[in-house]
């Protein structure tokens, strides 16, 4: 269960700690830290049985140093104004850390989505979008939502359709929201993007000799024991790619219990079981442990909290045995826990870097929508023809035929998915090196380094605008 934490306080404490390592004036730092605007709304939902229920929802635009602002919409009973503001702030910093040209926003609807039918969820989503349109809180150049906890491609299609019907600019309307189904203007690879980005970030850290030596771990992912909390979209894909790279998934925790197995669980198999039955309970090739929070304290190399905030707190941080905590969720570690874990020499890969793969590929989707062309469409055939000519020239020069699989893989042009994944990998690797360098220079941890990176980049923009001469 989510721990009741002072999430906004935690984000601001991390900001303040990092701000001390910069030289920006106090007023500028305040402007970067504060949330620019929040729209709190309440609207009625006519339920399927005819009764009326009032729904509470929010959208926070943390900053406007770049346009549009960007961030997901979550459907969760924990949603509150402070939570949405904290998440919007993280989005501003996250975009800056991975050099995505957006400022941060976040939306939330305070519901447990399991208690509503599909048609009720559709009515909620459409009404929420309508509210955003009315208050100018959505648009391709204004504020662009995306999926988050409890929402997915289907909800984004409803957002798009509602916006599209109300929009005066149908040409660019698809860029009003990202994470859409591919047939509705989505981009290939967006669904897997956050988990894939988490994988790239962990891979970079595990190949850093100095960092691994400090932890007493071997270099690389091979054989690393991983526990993941939350088998939603992000947790599933992160675990899946890690497993493909040779890591062993020894635990998967969900709300109602955790599956554990020393020999490793097959993530795909568990995912199919969960999809078909709605639960991991009863899965035969693992032991079920309850309560599921025990999984956070079990022996492993990498712990991936991929659910909600406040999961690792002062209550359990002393007992966490993992050497690396990879924050796939937003804000899973409270600032008190962060302090405890650092003293215990645990490596924390911070959310504002590690889960930025989602917004990175959202950026690619937004570009695709505005350019009205699929990535690779103009160049794929040209690349493949050129590469095939090169391969033919090699065969002629060497007098040897190349293997068919070599011809098939090298002799092909890049599809959209290849371009998206390579853009994501480049973004995650580049940003890791940026924050690692800052951490070395300032002799600080990666979270503080990531905040410093974000603050510096945003400060430059304000200075260039002449707002803070």
Query: Under the rule (CB under 6 A), what is the footprint of ligand GLU?
Result: 70-72, 146, 148, 178, 330, 355, 358-359, 362
User: CB of 405: closest distance to ligand GLU in angstroms?
Assistant: 35
CA distances from 376 to 100, 117, 172 (A): 21, 39, 20
d(CA 10, CA 13): 5
User: CB of 224: closest distance to ligand GLU in angstroms?
Assistant: 25
User: CB of 90: closest distance to ligand GLU in angstroms?
Assistant: 7
Complex with ligand GLU: residue 121 or 280, whichever CB lies closer: 121
Under 8 Å between Cβ of 70 and 98: no
Strand pairing class (52-61; 103-109) = antiparallel
Complex with ligand GLU: residue 212 or 306, whichever CB lies closer: 306
Q: Which among 340, 338, 289 is positioned nearest to 309, based on CA atoms? A: 338
Q: Taking CB positions, which residue lies at the least distance from ligand GLU? A: 72
Complex with ligand GLU: residue 173 or 211, whichever CB lies closer: 173
Complex with ligand GLU: residue 107 or 251, whichever CB lies closer: 107
User: CB of 260: closest distance to ligand GLU in angstroms?
Assistant: 28
Complex with ligand GLU: residue 143 or 301, whichever CB lies closer: 143
Complex with ligand GLU: residue 107 or 257, whichever CB lies closer: 107
User: CB of 351: closest distance to ligand GLU in angstroms?
Assistant: 8
Complex with ligand GLU: residue 211 or 458, whichever CB lies closer: 458
Q: Cis ω on the peptide bond leading into residue 291 (within 30° of 0)?
A: yes
Catalytic residue among 70, 94, 106, 380: 106
User: CB of 175: closest distance to ligand GLU in angstroms?
Assistant: 12
Distance of CA 48 to the CA centre of its chain: 33
Complex with ligand GLU: residue 331 or 411, whichever CB lies closer: 331
User: CB of 187: closest distance to ligand GLU in angstroms?
Assistant: 11
Residue 106 annotated among the catalytic residues of the structure: yes
- Helix/strand/coil (H/E/C) assignment for every residue in the chain: CCCCCCHHHHHHHHHHHHHCCCCCCHHHHHHHHCCCEEEEEEEEEECCCCCEEEEEEEEEECCCCCCCEEEEEEECCCCCHHHHHHHHHHHHHHHHHCCCCCEEEEEEECCCHHHCCHHHHHHHHHHHHHHHHHCCCCECCCEEEEECCCCCHHHHHHHHHHHHHHCCCHHHHHHHCCCCCHHHCCCCCHHHHHHHHHHHHHHHHHCCHHHHHHHCCCCCCCCCEEEEECCCHHHHHHHHHHHHCCCEEEEEEECCEEEECCCCCCHHHHHHHHHHHCCCCCCCCCEEECCHHHHHHCCCCEEEECCCCCCECCCCHHHCCCCEEECCCCCCECHHHHHHHHHCCCEEECHHHHCCHHHHHHHHHHHHHHHCCCCCCCCHHHHHHHHHHHHHHHHHHHCCCCCHHHHHHHCCCCCHHHHHHHHHHHHHHHHHHHHHHHHHHHCCCHHHHHHHHHHHHHHHHHHHCCCCC
Complex with ligand GLU: residue 87 or 258, whichever CB lies closer: 87
User: CB of 223: closest distance to ligand GLU in angstroms?
Assistant: 30
User: CB of 232: closest distance to ligand GLU in angstroms?
Assistant: 11
Q: Which among 442, 440, 456, 451 is positioned nearest to 210, based on CA atoms? A: 440
User: What is the set of active-site residues?
Assistant: 106
């Amino acid at each position: 269960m989510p721990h009741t934490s002072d999430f906004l306080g935690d984000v601001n404490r991390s900001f303040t700690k990092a701000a001390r390592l910069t030289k920006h004036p106090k007023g500028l730092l305040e402007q970067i830290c504060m949330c620019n605007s929040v729209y709190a709304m309440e609207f009625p939902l006519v339920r399927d049985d005819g009764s009326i229920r009032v729904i509470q929802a929010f959208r926070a635009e943390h900053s406007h140093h770049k346009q549009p602002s960007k961030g997901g919409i979550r459907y969760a009973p924990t949603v509150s104004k402070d939570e949405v503001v904290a998440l919007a702030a993280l989005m501003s910093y996250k975009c800056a850390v991975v050099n995505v040209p957006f400022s941060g926003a976040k939306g939330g609807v305070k519901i447990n989505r399991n208690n509503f039918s599909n048609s009720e969820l559709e009515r909620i989503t459409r009404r929420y979008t309508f509210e955003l349109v009315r208050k100018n809180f959505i648009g391709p150049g204004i504020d662009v939502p995306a999926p988050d906890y409890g929402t997915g491609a289907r909800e984004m299609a409803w957002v798009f359709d509602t916006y599209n019907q109300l929009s005066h600019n149908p040409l660019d309307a698809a860029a009003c929201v990202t994470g859409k189904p591919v047939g509705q203007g989505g981009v290939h690879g967006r669904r897997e993007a956050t988990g894939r980005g988490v994988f790239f970030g962990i891979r970079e850290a595990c190949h850093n000799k100095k960092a691994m030596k400090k932890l007493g771990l071997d270099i690389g992912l091979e054989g690393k024991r991983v526990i993941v909390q939350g088998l939603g979209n992000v947790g599933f894909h992160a675990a899946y790619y890690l497993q493909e790279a040779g890591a062993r998934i020894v635990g998967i925790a969900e709300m109602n219990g955790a599956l554990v197995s020393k020999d490793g669980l097959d993530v795909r198999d568990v995912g199919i079981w969960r999809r078909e039955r709605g639960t991991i309970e009863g899965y035969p090739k693992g032991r079920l442990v309850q309560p599921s929070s025990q999984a956070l304290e079990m022996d492993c190399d990498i712990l991936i909290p991929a659910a909600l905030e406040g999961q690792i707190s002062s209550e359990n941080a002393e007992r966490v045995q993992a050497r690396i905590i990879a924050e796939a969720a937003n804000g899973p570690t409270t600032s008190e826990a962060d302090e405890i874990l650092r003293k215990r020499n645990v490596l924390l890969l911070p959310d504002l870097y590690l889960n930025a793969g989602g917004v990175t590929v959202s950026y690619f989707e937004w570009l695709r929508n505005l350019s009205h062309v699929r990535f690779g469409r103009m160049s794929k055939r040209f690349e493949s023809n050129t590469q095939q000519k090169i391969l033919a020239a090699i065969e002629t020069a060497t007098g040897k035929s190349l293997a068919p699989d070599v011809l098939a893989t090298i002799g092909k042009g890049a599809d959209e998915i290849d371009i998206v994944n390579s853009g994501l990998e480049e973004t995650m690797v580049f940003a890791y090196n940026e924050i690692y360098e800052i951490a070395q220079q300032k002799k600080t941890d990666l979270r503080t380094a990531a905040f410093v990176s974000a603050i510096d980049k945003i400060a430059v923009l304000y200075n260039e605008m002449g707002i803070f001469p």
